[in-house]
Amino acid sequence: MKGILLTGDRPVIPENTKMVPVYIMGKRYIVPETLTIQKAFEYAGYQWIRGCGCRGGICGACATVYRIMGDHKLYFGLACQTVVKENMVLAQIPFYPYKRKFHDVENSEPTAETMINTYPEILKCVGCNTCTRACPMDIKVMDYINAAIRGDIERCAKLSLDCIMCGLCTSRCPAQITHYNVAMFARRLTGARVFKRAEHLKVRVQEINSGKFEKFMKELVEISDEELRRRYVEEREWEPLNSRDIGWKPQDERYL
């Protein structure tokens, strides 16, 4: 398009950009220092099959482990969110073996007993907190495992809400826990059994199944285009933002 620089998903690299060495699985490549790890791989010529997903930090496909050459410290991150550094030594962990049990959401109580029966290894947590340090989403992983052991299922669920199930925690655990599946079970139990069910939703489903709205909906399918537009413009009362506080009700209740 005229006058606009559009390069799809290929990064623009200005001429004066500093080039730095990175080591992809030990192999040296010179890449612009402005790129994310993900785009640096592509710049080097790699075609992703595994290890690439949403490219926006929410899918957990691009879990990456790296060191800076000469430094003992191990770092963790998402390749799509982390910018390269000079002398980075990189490896992807596109898959890590996990344990998963049947998550019987319908018939399990949200208790410590449930969690321990399903994942007894959580009792072997040594409290080293390595899981937490490996989490690219800054989740307090060890804390949610402790919550599961104590039977505070809701806390386990809430602490783990941002989990993208990338598996970095699991790759680091000396107790061999698959943390993210523990959290997954806890969240489902919380959604289904700790949180109160929505009564109004149950009522609405019953109304729909009894065919309450069929007549109106059929009308909408069949009326003329003009009539449809007229109803759209003239008959939709706008629910105000503070409707809950003021107990708002629409004047036209024909279609409720």
Partner 1 sequence: MSGYPESLRESIKLVEKTRAARVEKTKRGETFKPLTMDQRKEVLSKFHPDYMEGTKRIVKVGPDKGQHFPNELADLLEAHSRINPKDFNLKNPDIDTDVLVIGGGGAGSSAAIMAAKKGCKVILATKLRHGDANTVMAEGGIQAADQEVDSPYYHFLDTLGGGHFLNDRKIVSALTQDAPIIAHWLESLGMMFDKYPDGRMKVRHGGGTCRKRMHSCGDMTGSEIMRVLRDEVRNLSDSIDVMEFCPAVELLLDSNGRCAGAILYNLETEEYYIVRAKAVIMATGGFGRLHFNGFPCTNHYGATADGIVMAYRAGIRLRYMDSVQYHPTGVVYPEQNVGLLITEKVRGLGATLLNKNGEEFVFPLEPRDVESACIIRECTERGNGVITPTGRLGVWLDSPMIDMLEGEGTVKKELPAKYIQFIRHGIDISKEPMLIFPTVHYQNGGLWMDDNARTEIPGLYSAGEVSGGVHGRNRLMGNSLLDILVFGRRAGISASEYIQNLNLSDLTLEHVEKYEKEIKEAGIETDRVSPMILPDYIRDEVKAKEKTSRYFGTLR
- The smaller minimum CB distance to partner 1, of residues 95 and 150, is found at 95
Out of 102, 120, 176, 246, point to the residue binding partner 1 (CB under 8 A). 102
Distance CA 155, CA 144 (A): 7
120 by Cβ neighbours in 10 Å (0-12 / 13-18 / 19+) ranks as exposed
Contact status: 245 vs partner 1 (CB under 8 A) = no
Give least dist CB 237 to partner 1, A.
7
Please enumerate in sequence order all residues whose Cβ is within 8 A of that of 216, keeping only pairs 6 or more positions apart, or say none: 255
Confirm or reject binding of residue 217 to partner 1 (CB under 8 A). Answer: yes
Alpha-carbon gap, residue 225 to 99, rounded angstroms: 56
- Least gap, CB of 106 to partner 1 (angstroms): 8
Distance, in Å, from the CA atom of 193 to the CA atom of 110, rounded to the nearest integer, reads 7
Shortest distance, position 174 Cβ to partner 1, whole Å: 26
Q: Could you tell me which residues are beta bridge partners of residue 88?
A: 22, 68
- According to the binding rule CB under 8 A, does residue 239 interact with partner 1? yes
Does 49 interact with partner 1 (rule: CB under 8 A)? yes
What is the distance between the alpha carbons of residues 164 and 61, in angstroms, rounded to a whole number?
9
Cβ-based nearer residue to partner 1, 5 or 127: 5
Of 27 and 249, nearer to partner 1 (C-beta) is 249
Binding of partner 1 by 133 (CB under 8 A): no
Among 26, 56, 97, 120, binds partner 1 (CB under 8 A): 56
Q: Does 92 bind partner 1 (CB under 8 A)?
A: no
Minimum CB separation of residue 22 from partner 1 in Å reads 15
Does residue 230 interact with partner 1 by CB under 8 A? no
| Residue 65 parent element (H or E) | strand 63-68
Binding range to partner 1, per CB under 8 A, among 64-72, 96-104, 121-129, 140-148: 96-104
In the complex, minimum distance from the CB of residue 68 to partner 1, in angstroms, rounded to a whole number: 18
Look at residues 91, 182, 89 and name the one whose alpha carbon lies nearest to residue 131.
182
Q: Does 188 bind partner 1 (CB under 8 A)?
A: yes
Q: Is 224 left (phi over 0), alpha (psi -120 to 50) or beta?
A: beta
We find the least distance from the C-beta atom of residue 79 to partner 1, in angstroms, to be: 11
CB 79 within 8 A of CB 55: no
